[in-house]
Each structure stands twice: as structure tokens, then as C-alpha cells.
Amino acid sequence: MYHYTECGLRNVWLQNGYTVRKTPYGKGVSIHDVEGLHELISRSLANKPKLSGAELRFLRKELGLSQAALGRLVGTSEQNVSLWERRGRISKAGDRLIRLISLEKIGGNVKIRELIEQLSDQDSDGQHKLTFAQKAGNWKEAA
């Protein structure tokens, strides 16, 4: 079995689905279908009764969110998210909401994915540009 610590969790072991190869630098491990594996790990974590800090960090990264974006999404500060990840004491509401969002994203909820992408874009852009246009006497958000 392979102890898959590269995902950031200490309790993930793989029975198969990987290849070990010799390289000039030592052993190298190639995981088959990493995306599918991470989706299954996310689903397993989201169905647990309570998340640890490392598990929260894994789900946040799988959602593609920074600590600041996750904080905005669940209504708390970036510092609180950082503390949750380091100390593992997550508020009940935050824990439940993060697990729910993860399950919805895995299930293919387009609106959740759009919200997550929008928050990620806001993080990378720094400032969101708002553009409006007047059409037929009414103001509308421009494309």
C-alpha cells in the first residue's frame, strides 16, 4: 500500500491505482486518475461528522479557493479560516457549509461552480470591475 501524503492528509492510503518507478533521483510514484481520487477523498470527507483542519484545507484547495475567498463564502474572516486549518476547531456552521458546498460541487451543481469560480477570479484579479450600460432607458450590467 502507498501512503498518499502528497494530498496533505496523513490518513490516506492507496491499495492500488499507482505506479512506482525508479528514477535517477530515487523512487517516483505516479497516481492514476488523481482528479477522480481527489473527488472521492472530497466526498468521503464531506460525509464525515466533523472536519479536521487538514481536511478543511484539502476541501478548500479542491474548491479552488483561497482562505480569504472561503471566508467570504461562509461569512467569516481569512484569519478565522487560517485558525480553523491550523487548530482544527471549526465552527459548526462553517463545517457544515463547507461540506455542503463540496458535495454540491462534486455533484455538478452549476450555480455552485459558478459562484466558486467567481470568488476565485475575484481573488486573482484583486479588484472586480463593474461595467454598466443603459439600454432603452434602463440600466443593465454590461457583458
Residue 23 CB partners (closer than 8 Å, separation 6+): none
**pLDDT tens digits for range 38-87:** 999 999 999 888 999 999 999 999 998 999 989 988 889 999 999 999 99
Residue 51 CB partners (closer than 8 Å, separation 6+): 45, 59, 90, 95, 98, 99
Q: Are 48 and 55 in contact, with CB atoms under 8 Å apart?
A: yes
Residue 135 CB partners (closer than 8 Å, separation 6+): none
Of 43, 58, 41, nearest to 100 (Cα)? Answer: 43
More reliable by pLDDT, 73 or 90: 90
Full-prediction pTM beyond 0.85?
no
Q: Are 42 and 59 in contact, with CB atoms under 8 Å apart?
A: yes
The residue assigned the cell 492507496 is 14
- What pLDDT was estimated at residue 114? 77
Segment 4-13 mean pLDDT: 94
**pLDDT tens digits for range 17-46:** 999 999 999 999 999 999 999 999 999 999
More reliable by pLDDT, 35 or 116: 35
Segment 89-99 mean pLDDT: 90
Question: Mind listing the domains of the chain with CATH numbers?
Answer: 34-124 (1.10.260.40)
- What pLDDT was estimated at residue 41? 95
- What pLDDT was estimated at residue 119? 67
